[in-house]
């Protein structure tokens, strides 16, 4: 996340920036309320480095660390696939052969729903 506090104008959309406390929701769990700069136009939220570290510490404490992963798209025949790491698979209790429902939530987000 970009750390550049005391912005007046949003880097993304030139909207007006306000400071406010926002709830940080990670994997459906509320990790607490933290001060952030929020764009009034596009809603982009930016935390200081200090707050980012604090949030990371809470995430580790709650055993949620490492569930946020980067993966690459593989080519499998005419389809593509992504590899889900062991930690995420265990967290969701995914087993080989199990069926899941996948659907795009929008052009930037793919949901894999466990049944
Ligand atoms: Zn903005």
Distance CA 70, CA 51 (A): 22
Q: How many CA atoms lie within 13 A of 35 on its CB side?
A: 8
Whether the Cβ atoms of residue 45 and residue 22 lie closer than 8 Å to each other? yes
| Distance from the alpha carbon of residue 3 to the mean position of ligand 1, in angstroms | 15
H or E segment at 49?
A: helix 49-61
Q: Residue 67 C-alpha to ligand 1 middle, in angstroms?
A: 27
How is residue 83 annotated by DSSP? P
Expressed in angstroms and rounded, the spacing between residue 6 Cα and the centre of ligand 1 is 14
What predicted TM-score, i.e. pTM, was given to this entire model? 0.57
Ligand 1 (ion): residues with CB under 5 Å are: 10, 12-13, 15, 39, 41-42, 44
User: Would you state the pLDDT for residue 27?
Assistant: 83
pLDDT tens for the chain, 115 residues long, are: 555 567 889 988 999 999 999 999 988 889 999 999 999 999 999 999 999 999 999 999 988 887 888 899 999 999 999 999 998 898 889 999 999 999 999 999 999 999 9
Query: What class has domain 1-68?
Result: alpha beta
> What ranges do the domains of the chain cover?
1-68, 73-114
Contact 34, 24 (CB under 8 A): yes
């Amino acid at each position: 996340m970009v750390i550049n506090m005391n912005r007046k104008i949003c880097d993304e959309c030139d909207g007006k920036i306000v400071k406010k406390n926002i709830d940080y929701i990670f994997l459906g769990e509320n990790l607490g309320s933290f001060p952030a700069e929020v764009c009034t136009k596009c809603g982009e939220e930016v935390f200081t480095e200090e707050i980012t570290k604090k949030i990371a510490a809470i995430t580790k404490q709650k055993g949620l660390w490492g569930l946020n992963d980067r993966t690459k798209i593989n080519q499998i025949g005419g389809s593509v696939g992504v590899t889900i790491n062991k930690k995420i698979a265990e967290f969701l209790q995914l087993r080989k052969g199990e069926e899941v429902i996948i659907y795009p939530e929008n052009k930037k987000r793919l949901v894999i729903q466990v049944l």
